[in-house]
Structure 1
Amino acid sequence: MAKIVNYRIAHLSKYYPPDRGGIETHVQTLAQTQAALGAEVQVFCVNGFDEQGRVSTKTKTVFEMDGNVKVTRIGRLFSLARCDVCFGLCQELRRLINESKPTIFHLHTPNPTMLMALTMLDRNIPLVITHHSDVIKQKFLKYALRPFEYLVYTRSSQILTDSLQYIQGSKFLQFYHHKLSDLPLGLNLGIYSNPNQKAFDFSHSFKDKYGETIWLGVGRLVYYKAFHIAIQALTLVPGKLVVIGVGPLEAQLKALAQKLGVENRIVWLGRVNEDELVGAYHAATALWFPSNLRSEGFGLVQVEAMASGCPVINANIPGSGVPWVSRDEKEGLTVPINDPFALARAAKRLLSEPNLRDRLVKASRKRAEYFNHMNMAQRSFEVYDKVLSQERSYGVIPKPVDL
């Protein structure tokens, strides 16, 4: 008879869909896939929405189900320096710790709120951390968090990154080299490789509205996404740039587009639903992904595009997994960071070189299969099993029950 391991998984995420972002998408995909494979999975995150579903800085705690995943959205009182102050977070986590079933806690960082909460909990809880990226630009936040990071990372049983390349480029992670490994992000590829009718129809309407040459940008409008490089590159190539995403730099980017005379060739779509996003990938000539700092550790939207048959033009960020996900001249084209001229040259190659785009599309679809969500979930279970074995050997948690 099969052995039933008596534990649960609690993901500690900064936010969770409908908040959109690479980490949020990853946490949802991993949690749902783990639940589909039989695990008992919960997600704790900050609630960023009011009762009407609008983005708000002051919210209430909400309990809901996302398929088979229990989601606890902790209400926040306010936000300060990118840290959400949430009353009741520690109480909810302690409640879970004190229940009869032991729980694997899986923290996703950077995540100041959950990081500080963990410093106030039992140091013996089984803890896995996925370190998605270092804190790069926010120097004050970086050094203010360092004592909390030291406490939590030292207590952790295993630290994961999205790629081996990120480990090699992070001075911070070298302090924990004895407990490091990688867990590449994964997706339910079928959503992108075999679009439903709504996505298919949106793709056709997308081309009818914006033409045959569409450069797509997907991501939050923040500094390290480097959308200003894409806008500068647009002045050198034909077609339209369609931007999906919102963020604090929107007004600044629109002002740059106007200054450079390309405001009429950029479409700012803001937030879109899943079908519209998939349709946009299928309509686009390529995804422009000019992110320029190691705050971009992986670039999950690259996998979305590749699975959709949309080749990627990315930037060669030192010490990041971005150029490893879509590799230069194999599945996509990689250009130097902060170089709009190189981005434009790569885009022109897709338009002019015979069979180049078709070759990259075929290779992209094949490469995307490596980032399958089932593979990711199975690898996460291997990590958890290793952690639980270590904890049992120290007498922290009871042995599993054979049934």
Structure 2
Amino acid sequence: MAEYKVNKTVQEINERIRQGKAVVVNAEEMIEIVRKEGKVKAAQEVDVVTTGTFSPMCSSGLLFNIGQQPPVMKVSKLWLNNVPCYSGIAAVDAYLGATEPAEDDPLNKVHPGRFAYGGAHVMEDLLRGKAVHLRAEAYGTDCYPRRELDKDVTLADLPNAVMLNPRNCYQNYNAAVNLTNRTIYTYMGPLKANASNVNYATAGALSPLFNDPYFRTIGMGTRIFLGGGIGYVIGEGTQHVQKPKRNERGIPEGGSGTLMLKGDFKKMNARYVRAQSIIGYGVSLALGVGIPIPMLNEELAWFAGVANEDISMPVKDYGYDYPNGIPREVTRVSFAELRSGRIMVNGKETATVPVTSHSMSLEVADKLKEWILAGKFLLTEKQDDIPSF
């Protein structure tokens, strides 16, 4: 066990939150505190660091139940606003994937492979109080005789609605460039020919998994800000990389850790759950996620002092290399360089374009900070580890 000069517990920090005495700062504010005071004093002074990200998170969706009405039904196929949902779960349970396109999408009819409306739009419509059209089919049984259902529903009409996301909050990611001589359309957005733009994701120093890179405090059961409501980490996400190559601050050099998340969809806010139509690619969901990092010791304070200059990201070619599964780096740059608006790629000055909103990521971190300071949000201890080394 490491010997620390500062040793706090989550229970002690929660008691300070209840008493209105907790010191809470966002991850950007923590950078200057660690630089000025050092990690030990920073850990002594600060109780919680709040993080935030607002970024496309394709691997998201809605697990819901439509309820029964006589005669009862065992659904085999279901659509919301003509977006197919997966119904092979139970009688009236279904899962709506954020990236699933509507079957009658008019944009897809004109431009095959391009979609304007899909699962993420249904999710946002529901949160905004709009009615969506539900259509269901069944083969019929003695105990579930109904074969068809056709009606409009709102979120209030659904007995249960849970956001359940297999893979969110990538710990690091690629910056994307296109070295071919034609514009290509990707999940990172349009990439112009001949390295004319570099698109990049993550919230940098605000991003949750940069502030706790070894998952010291984040694990199964961690309470979080999710889509404007309260959610939980339920384990590592799909494509989680357990042993990535890291720099001296513990920051992975490429895509690595991911989280599986859940939360009560009915208590979320459409401001932090927004559908996206990515031209030439399809549908995605921009989602706000904020995770509190308790300052239990100076090691965690040091990690939470991470700055954009400390984070390096690989720039990869999405024209030739990525489609063929070649993990070649064109160059490597710091997140601070990406945020500057210009980097050099193969000797050419290239514009950088964020697909993550910094202003909304900061808003998420500050909203979580506000909740904690008001005593509305207490921290939880993880109940199981997420493997990281």
TM-score category, normalised to shorter length: under 0.3
TM-score normalised according to structure 1 size: 0.25
Q: Greater strand share, 1 or 2?
A: 2
TM-score (norm 2): 0.25
